[in-house]
Each structure stands twice: as C-alpha cells, then as structure tokens.
Structure 1
Amino acid sequence: MAGPLILFRTPYFRGPVPLAGVPDALRDHFTADQARLREADAVVFHIPDWRPTQLHDTPKYPGQLWVLWSMESSVNYPRMGDPAFLRHFDLFVTYERSADIWSSYLPPMAQWQTALQVPQPSKPEAAPLVLFQSALIDGCGRNAFSGALMRRIPVDSYGRVYRNRTLAEDLGRQSKLDTISRYHFCLSLENSLSPDYVTEKLFDPLLVGTVPVYRGAPNAAEFAPEHSYIDAEAYSGPKGLADYLRHLLQSPAEYAAYFAWRQRPLPDWIEEKLRASATSCWLRLLERVDTARTGRRSGRPALPFGFRAALSARTTRLLRRLGGRQSPPVQFQ
C-alpha cells in the first residue's frame, strides 16, 4: 500500500469508528489494528474515549503525528482546553473553525437543496413547540431553561427529559424528523454555549420546515440563513421568549417570514462552508498526513505522558485484565 497509514487508537464512544465518506479503495490507509502502531504515520485519539489508564503508556514513534479528534463541545471535555494536554498533539480534527481539519455538523448540500424544493408542511399539533432531548449532559442550564419555558407555554417533549408524549411508531431518525415538521417551533438546546458548536439541534428543524428556537453557539448566525431561527437568549429569559412565540402564533405574516429564506438561493457564504465540509474529514486528514510525511526516522519512541504515567496505566490495565474486564477493541463501521 502506497501512501500514509492512519491508526485509530481509541473507539468511538466505545463503538465502531465511523469512516463516512471514505471510499473502499482508500480504506486500507486506515486501521484499527493496534499491532501496527509502530508503522502508523498518524495516530488518532477520540478525546471523549480518552482513558489515562489505557492511553498514557502509548509510545509516540519518531516522525509520527498524533491527532486529537472530537465533535463534542470543549466545555464538556476540559482536556480540550488544557494546554499541557494539547501540546502532545500535532493535528486537530474538531467542530471548531480554527481546527487543522474542520469537521462540521452542517448537512450536505443535497439536503439543503431538497429543503428549498419541498412544500411547507402543515402544523396540526395543538402544542406550538416540540422538544427531543434525552442526553443528560447539561453544561449550560438547558434543562432548567426548558423546564421554565414549559411552565409558560405548551411543549410536547418526546425525549427522556421532561417526557410528556411518546411516538406512536418509532422508526428511528425519520420518525423524529417527521414529528418535528408537524410543529410550529422546535426547542433546540445545545448542551453547551460554545462558539462553532452548532449541531443537528439547529439543522434538523430548519430543513424539515419548522422554526428552531435555538439556544447554543453564540455565533450560530454564521451557520444558518438570516432570520431562519429564533435566538432563545434574545428575549430576557423563558417568560419573554414564551410571550414572543405566542405573538408569532397570532401574527401569521411574521411567523411566515422565518421561512422566506426557503424562497431564495442559499447565501454564498453558506455554500462556501458546505463546499469546505463536503469532503470527508478523514480524506482531508489523509491528504494532510501525506503532505507532512518526510519519511519515518529511526530512533526510540517517546512516552509523552512520562514514565510514571505509563507505568501506572500498564499496572491498572493488568489488574483489570486479571479481573476479567477488557477494553472494547477498535473497529470501523
């Protein structure tokens, strides 16, 4: 195999690593075989799966690049803001625009084009808002915010958080999207208020024809058409927000204005972001590693976290193995 070899040192949330967008012809450049660590040109660590007892003894070979990978908010993973930790990595694959390899939550161009062509769905539900939230991670008070809002305006909640409705038939993601499209508004709350951390919470309702009531990244306007969503932070708290939503329900023309973007071509700046993120982040990483390769140099590997940390990791792992506890193998999907 000519070209670089990229090894994934960790699983992805203890499951298979998604190699979305990597054609079969290039999959041999990626491996989960930990026995090939020495020959790898780059080693990828998924930070939410970082366990010091598993990884502090990972040797770094001369000429090898270490890659930090995370699509989760840095607010919820303090290591991503620790300079002493970050200095061990050469490349960064994250949602942050400043990353070496930007990995975006933006839906592909085809989904935006479909949204521009599909007629506006009807809104038959009695409650004006819908909420899908099951994760308990809450670094910004979103649960308290949604609870306070629900005391002031009806919200149908289908997730584990404040559940008061269930799906008649749950066929997965499509059932969720179909349900969202039946409401005037979707309460879209990120688990942190972090710049650039704009996830499907904003995009799902936007593309199915429902107005997102969004609380999240302070620069979310850089990822969505103008006047296409409601900034939940702009109304002096849940009471002011509820008053504004009731006003929109009584003012059809003002409500309809939130869909005017669907009658126009996408702004150039959104298309530019879509083009920048169209190619799989793994293919862009492969190209970056290939460009950086200068030939593997001989020499002894280093223990970036030090001998004591390595010894502690190996001892803990040995004890776990003796106790029958095994770490999940790294696989691809």
Structure 2
Amino acid sequence: MMYCLVALFRSPMHISWEHSMASGPFTGVLRPLLLGILVLGCFVTLFVMYFKPYEGWLPGPVESVSEHVKNLISSDKNPTIVLMWLWPFGSKFDFSVCSSLFEIDNCFITADRNLYNKSHGVIIHHRDISGDLSNLPQLQRPSFQKWIWMNFESPSHSSKLSGIEKLFNLTLNYRQDANIGVPSGTIVPAEGEENFVPPSKNKLVCWMVSNWNPQHVRVKYFNELQKHVKVHAYGRAFGKHISDNDFMPTITSCKFYLSFENSVHKDYITEKLFNPLSVGTVPVVLGPTRQNYEKIIQGDAFIHVDDFSSPKDLADYLLLLDKNEEMYLRYFEWRRHFKVKKVQFPVEHACLTCDYLRKHKEYKEFNDLDKWFWGS
C-alpha cells in the first residue's frame, strides 16, 4: 500500500501536472480531483490483487474442502455426511474420531456449509438458534436430507421458538423416546469382577452449584437440609470457586454428593449423577422419579430425596450411614460388575447421529416438537 501511494505522488504525470497547472485558474479544482482519481485507482488495483472472495453463503463455522475430502465424497465408499450447522455452545471437536472412539465407520462429519447440498443430515443446536431463525439454512432442503434438532437442556431452560415446531425430521436429545437418544451417561458391564473400594473421604455431604435461583426446588430443599447436616457447598453463591482441576477431586473427597437437577422433567438426568458415580461417591438425587432413574442405573447405587418424608429425615439417614460403614458400602456393590461410561459431548452425539442416518434411510418427519418437548 505504501509503495503504491509513493509511486502515485512521484509519478511523471503528477510532476508534470504540478508544474503546468500551478498558475492556472482551475488549479484549486483540478488538483484534488485528479489526485482523488489516482488514489481510487490505486486502491482498486490493490483490492483486485489481494482480495479473496468468501465461498460460503451464510456466516458460521466453515472448513475448507480439501482434495482429500472431495475424493472421499466422490469415491465408491459413499460416506454418510453430517453437517454440524451450529457449534453447540461453541464446543468444537475433532471430526475424524467416529471410527477410533466409537467404532462407527464411513462417516464424514463437517462444519463446511459449502457441503450443505451433499449432507445427509444437518445438526442444528437449539440453544444457538437465533430468535428470528435468521441463522438457519436458507437454501432449499434436498429430498434426501434430514434436519436434526439437537438439545440437551431441560424444557425449563430452553426457549420455545416460533416457527420450528414442524421444521425438523429427527430429534437428538436426552429423552429416551427421542429418535437419537443420548443420555449424559450409562452403566456398562465391567471387564471382569472388581472388588471396588471407595476412596478415602474427609467430608460427609458436598454440593457444587453454578445456577443459583431461590425459586428452584433444589435450592429450597438445600436450605432446609443444611439445617440438619453440614453441607460443604461450593460455587459463586457461596463465595467458593472450584477450578476445573479441583472439581472431580472435591467430589471424590465426599461421602455423599447432592446431584440436584436445576429442573424436574422426564428423563432429565445429567452429569450431576454420573460424576459422583464415576469416582466412588454416593449421589443424592433430586430430579424425576426413582423409577425414571432406575431405567438407567441400579436402584441401590443412589439415594433419592423422594424416599424421605422431609429433608430432616434424609439428613438423619446420611448421618446414620456415616456411622455404619457396612450400610454405606452397600451403595457400591453394583461396582463389582459394572462401571460408568460418560458421554463425550458433542462429538459422540454427532457420530451417533451419523450412525443413525446410515441405518435409517427412510423418510422421517417430526411435526409436534412443541407438544413433545414442552408439553403444549
């Protein structure tokens, strides 16, 4: 740029014009006019030389289409292509791990919107959709393509958006009746029998909470519970921040952990249950019914607040278990034959979606999203 301007001001035309017009009557008009034309020409030249046009047709996460990808798509392998339209909460991940991590082959996950017309499925994360739907795909949907509604927040923390109730073909959700149901974790068989011994503990009851709302059921229950048993509470509301490095070790150090969900809905059971289970701490759950929990985990692996008539009765029971080691250890008998598997968000969801699309090529439509998820 600097070279162009220097060349402009030192050009023979500029010097010649400067001498010939210095005393002319129109010098005040022609001088800035000609100079402006020359400057504009210089900028146009630089723009043409260096500007690289954007190939996408809508702002968002985009990858370049390499020759390898073009060859893969055009090869006889015919991979299933899944387009991640919006990064869930901005969580980016390696697209090439479906085979190595989950043994799901012939899948191609991408965020390149230039592949929209070739994509068999388009995953759209609900919490990232604009209220006016302006960041959804604007091109016509290919006949073979399915749009997948992805959401892992509860109805209480998911805005109902006008215009999406009949927009999607499939649901990707924590609900067990979703087309692609992905819970926050599962209990899987262990490799051989294990004589599990829980780690040493120096705290009785712990709770970590980020979303503090006095109107939440869990907050009201906690306020009453702590009157009868000491609870080591962490989070912004208590002025006790826990770093990522200290998060799991803190849970491990507690005999019981309050796995209280932020809202109570069918199948809404989050990592709050699976974190303590995975490190040898007994979760005390507040969420859907005990029967709902027992669809995904053994009934003797957790304590449900509904089993007690009051927070005081629960506190008395926890104090009893603290004094009776034999009773406490019964909550770990399931670990002899099983272990916890936590879901890897969001890469596992994308790979499972691809696997579903590979196995279900028939036409699908979903026309009652509002009724199914929000109940109205």
TM value normalised by structure 1: 0.70
Change in 2 beyond 3 A, CA 1:138/1:32: farther
Q: Secondary structure at the match of 1:38?
A: helix
In structure 2, distance between residues paired with 1:189 and 1:181: 17
Q: Secondary structure at the match of 1:29?
A: strand
1:288 counterpart residue number: 356
Q: Alpha-carbon deviations, 1:30-51, whole Å to 9, x = none?
A: 2212233333222111011111
Letter matched to residue 352 of structure 2 = R
1:55 counterpart residue number: 135
Question: Could you tell me which of 123, 134, 146 is aligned with 2:210?
Answer: 134
In structure 2, distance between residues paired with 1:99 and 1:65: 15
2:202 counterpart residue number: 124
What residue ranges of structure 1 are gaps of 5+ in the alignment? 296-303, 305-333
1:249 counterpart residue number: 322
In structure 1, distance between residues paired with 2:79 and 2:241: 50
2:287 counterpart residue number: 216
Give the structure with higher Rg (CA): 2
Q: Alpha-carbon deviations, 1:48-95, whole Å to 9, x = none?
A: 111133335634413121111112223321539x9x733211111111
- How far off its partner does 1:198 sit? 1.7
Q: Alpha-carbon deviations, 1:147-169, whole Å to 9, x = none?
A: 22223211111222334x555xx
In structure 2, distance between residues paired with 1:235 and 1:223: 22
State the percentage of identical aligned residues: 25
Q: Secondary structure at the match of 1:69?
A: strand
Change in 2 beyond 3 A, CA 1:166/1:292: closer
Question: Could you tell me which of 117, 125, 131 is aligned with 1:46?
Answer: 125
1:35 counterpart residue number: 114
Alignment of 1:142-153 (within 5 A): 142-153=218-229
More off after superposition, 11-20 vs 28-37: 11-20
Change in 2 beyond 3 A, CA 1:57/1:184: closer
- How far off its partner does 1:183 sit? 1.6
In structure 1, distance between residues paired with 2:96 and 2:273: 21
- How far off its partner does 1:182 sit? 1.7
Letter matched to residue 282 of structure 1 = A
Is residue 75 from structure 1 mapped to residue 156 from structure 2 by the alignment? yes
Change in 2 beyond 3 A, CA 1:56/1:21: closer
1:226 counterpart residue number: 299
1:9 counterpart residue number: 85
Change in 2 beyond 3 A, CA 1:179/1:252: same
Q: Highest relative contact order (Cα 8 Å, sep 6+), 1 or 2?
A: 1
Letter matched to residue 326 of structure 2 = A
In structure 1, distance between residues paired with 2:208 and 2:308: 22
In structure 1, distance between residues paired with 2:114 and 2:260: 42
Q: Alpha-carbon deviations, 1:266-286, whole Å to 9, x = none?
A: 3xxx99x99xxxx94433322
In structure 2, distance between residues paired with 1:19 and 1:241: 46
Are 1:131 and 1:187, in contact at CA under 8 Å, matched by a contact in 2? yes
In structure 2, distance between residues paired with 1:189 and 1:282: 28
Change in 2 beyond 3 A, CA 1:137/1:104: farther
Q: Alpha-carbon deviations, 1:116-170, whole Å to 9, x = none?
A: 4553212223xx211121134788422222222223211111222334x555xx4
Question: Could you tell me which of 321, 333, 345 is aligned with 1:260?
Answer: 333
Letter matched to residue 130 of structure 2 = R
- How far off its partner does 1:98 sit? 1.0
Alignment of 1:157-236 (within 5 A): 157-163=233-239, 165=240, 170=243, 172=244, 175-218=246-289, 219-236=292-309
Are 1:198 and 1:223, in contact at CA under 8 Å, matched by a contact in 2? no
Change in 2 beyond 3 A, CA 1:21/1:232: farther
In structure 2, distance between residues paired with 1:154 and 1:115: 35
In structure 2, distance between residues paired with 1:192 and 1:59: 37
Change in 2 beyond 3 A, CA 1:225/1:143: same
Q: Secondary structure at the match of 2:87?
A: coil
More off after superposition, 243-252 vs 54-63: 54-63
Q: Alpha-carbon deviations, 1:180-238, whole Å to 9, x = none?
A: 22222111111121222222211111221111111123211222223111102321332
Are 1:8 and 1:32, in contact at CA under 8 Å, matched by a contact in 2? yes
Q: Secondary structure at the match of 1:236?
A: coil
Change in 2 beyond 3 A, CA 1:28/1:231: closer
In structure 2, distance between residues paired with 1:194 and 1:47: 18
Matched pairs, number: 277
Change in 2 beyond 3 A, CA 1:255/1:51: same
